[in-house]
Amino acid sequence: MLLGGIHALAFLAKAFALPWLAVITVAAVLIRPGNGSRVKRLALSAALPLIVAALWGSILHSKYGVFTTGTQFKTNFLQSTVREYRNHRSARYTVLADIAEYNDAYMVGDPMPPGTWPWHYKMQARQLVPAIIKAEMTNVPRMIKELVIQANPGIVLAFVCVLLAVSVGGVRYATGVQRSLPIIVTLAAGALILAYSMLVVDTRYLFPLAPLVIAVGARFLWPEEGVGSTRLSQVCWLFLIGGIVWSLTYSSSPLRIQTRDFQQICYWVGTVLKQSDAKTLVSIGRGPFPEHGVGWEAGYKSAYFAHNRLIATAEAVPAAGDFGAILTDISSALPDAILVWNSDDTNRGEFIAALNSYQYAEHAKIYDPVLGDVGVVLLRNQGNATTH
Tell me the per-residue pLDDT of 78-134, one tens digit each, with 9 for 90 and over. Answer: 988 888 888 888 889 999 999 998 988 888 888 899 988 999 888 888 888 899 999
Q: DSSP string spanning 116-183?
A: SHHHHPPPPHHHHHHHHHHHHHHHHHHHHHHHHHHH-HHHHHHHHHHHHHHHH-SS----THHHHHHH
Largest CA distance in the chain: 82
Dihedral sign (CA 240, 246, 252, 254): positive
The model's pTM:
0.78
What band does 300 get if pLDDT is binned at 50, 70 and 90?
A: very high
Average pLDDT of the segment spanning 186-210: 86
CA distances from 165 to 157, 229, 284, 375 (A): 12, 10, 56, 58
Q: CATH for 264-380, among 3.40.50.2300, 3.40.50.2000, 1.10.10.60, 3.20.20.10? A: 3.40.50.2300
Q: What is the pLDDT of residues 27-75, one digit of tens each?
A: 877 776 665 677 777 888 888 889 999 999 999 999 888 898 888 888 8
Q: What is the pLDDT of residue 33?
A: 63
pLDDT tens digits for range 223-279: 765 555 678 888 999 999 999 998 888 877 777 778 889 999 999 999 999 999 899
Burial class of residue 78 in the structure, from the number of CB atoms within 10 Å of its CB (0-12 exposed, 13-18 middle, 19+ buried): buried
- Banded model confidence at residue 329, pLDDT cuts 50, 70, 90: very high
- The pLDDT tens digits of the residues spanning 146-192 come to 899 889 999 999 999 888 887 766 445 555 667 788 888 888 889 88
Domain boundaries, the chain: 2-64, 127-256, 264-380
Provide mean pLDDT across the span 288-295.
91
